[in-house]
Amino acid sequence: MSFSPHEHTGVVPAQNHTPSCGNEVLSQRPPSYASHETEPLPPYAPPEYTRAARVPSTIQPATSKIPSALNGYWQWKLTRTILLGVSAEKTLFAVSTHTHVFSNRQSIVLHDGPSGKHPALATLESDITGSKRPCTITVPPHREAPSQGPVVVEFHANRERRYHREPSFSFSCIVGEGKGATEEEFEWRRSHGKEIKELDKYSSGWKLVRMSATIATHDVVALLAHNSSMSMTKAFRFALRGSGLLGIMGRDWEVVALISAVHMFNLDLQTAATVAATT
C-alpha cells in the first residue's frame, strides 16, 4: 500500500524554521517611561524606636499624703503664716511659726489644712537661731496608723564636712510601712544645680539626698527652691523627686521632708536678715 505524502500520517513534517536567538527581543526598544505618571515618594518617617528614644522617661507620682509639688505663699495679714498649695487658689496646708523669747526657742507647725486653726501634721522645735542645737520633729498619731505612737525625728546640722564647704543638715527617719519599714539617713544640701533650675530657672535652694548604703548613687528625693520672680506672695517651691515620688517612703517621711524643707527656708531668711543688718 502506498501513501501519498500529502495524506495525514500523524507526523508533522519538519519545517525549515530557524530558531530565534532572542535577537528580535534585543532589537526591541524598551517602552518609554516618560508617558507614565510618576507619584511622589512618601515623606520619610523615622523608625518607631528612634522617636521613642527622644521621649524622656517620667515617673508617675504616687505619694501618700503630700502632693508631688507645692508652692509656699506669704499671707501679709498674718506674716508668720505660709500657705502651701498647688496654686494660690488651691491651698492644702498651712505653716505657722512661733517664737518663745523667754525660752530662746521657736517652733514650726505644719497644719493639715489651709489655716493655722487646723490640726498639726507635724511640729519642729529648735533654738531661736534654728541651727545651733539639734531640732526635734514630731509627727503625732494619725488615722492611717491609729495604734502607732508619735514619730520623733532628730534634725541636726553637720559641723564637719571635709570636702564640702556648704552647710548640710541630716536626719534619720523610718522609710516604708509595716514589716518592711527600715530607718534611713537623709541630708539636706545647699544646691545651685540643674535640679533646682528645673523648679526655678534663676533660683538656688536645697536638695534632700537619700544616703542609704544600698543605693549605688545617692538619690535626690526632694527639692526646695526660693522664688526668684517678682511675685510679692510666692515664697518658695517644694517638690518630691526620685523615689520620693513613688509612695514607697511612707506618709510620715513625706511629712518630715516637707516640714524640714520649711525649716531650711526659714534658716535662709534668718541668714539674709542677719547679713542685711550688718551691712
d(CA 107, CA 109): 7
Cα–Cα distance for residue pair 193/205, rounded to 1 Å: 9
pLDDT in tens, 199-220: 888 788 999 999 985 556 678 9
pLDDT band at 229 (very low <50, low <70, confident <90, very high): confident
The answer to whether residue 66 scores a pLDDT higher than 80 is: yes
* Mean pLDDT taken over the chain: 79
Task: Give the model's pLDDT for residue 262.
Answer: 97
Is the pLDDT at 34 greater than 60, yes or no?
no
Lowest mean pLDDT among 60-64, 98-102, 166-170: 60-64
> How far is 74 from 77, CA to CA, in rounded Å?
9
The mean pLDDT value for 98-107 works out to 86
Contact indicator for 71, 94 with CB cutoff of 8 Å = no
Q: Is 187 exposed, middle or buried (0-12, 13-18, 19+ CB in 10 A)?
A: middle
pLDDT of residue 113: 97
Is residue 102's pLDDT more than 70? yes
**Amino acid identity, residue 87?**
S
Mean pLDDT on 14-43: 49
Residue 70, pLDDT above cutoff 90 = yes
- What is the spatial distance between Cα 167 and Cα 93, in angstroms, rounded to a whole number? 28
Q: How does residue 109 score in pLDDT terms, banded at 50, 70 and 90?
A: very high
* pLDDT tens track for 248-278: 999 999 999 999 999 999 999 888 888 888 8
pLDDT band at 114 (very low <50, low <70, confident <90, very high): very high
Buried-exposed string 108-144: b where 16+ CB fall within 10 A, e elsewhere: bbbbbebebeeeebbbbbbeeebbeeebebbbeebee
pLDDT: which is higher, 57 or 115: 115
pLDDT band at residue 5, thresholds of 50, 70 and 90?
very low
β-partners of residue 222 are 208, 240
**For residue 37, pLDDT beyond 80:** no
What was the pLDDT predicted at 234? 92
Minimum mean pLDDT range among 100-109, 133-142, 147-156, 161-170: 161-170
**Per-residue confidence (pLDDT) for residue 58, from 0 to 100:** 56
3-state secondary structure the chain: CCCCCCCCCCCCCCCCCCCCCCHHHHHCCCCCCCCCCCCCCCCCCCCHHHHHHCCCCCCCCCCCCCCCEEEEEECCCCCCEEEEEEECCEEEEEEEEEEECCCCEEEEEEECCCCCCCCEEEEEEEECCCCCCCEEEEECCECCECCCCCEEEEEEECCCCCCCCCCEEEEEEEECCHHHCEEEEEEEEEECCHHHHHHCCCCCEEEEEECCCCCCCCEEEEEEEECCCCCCCEEEEEEECHHHHCCCCCHHHHHHHHHHHHHHHHHHHHHHHHHHHHC
Residue 41 reports pLDDT greater than 80: no
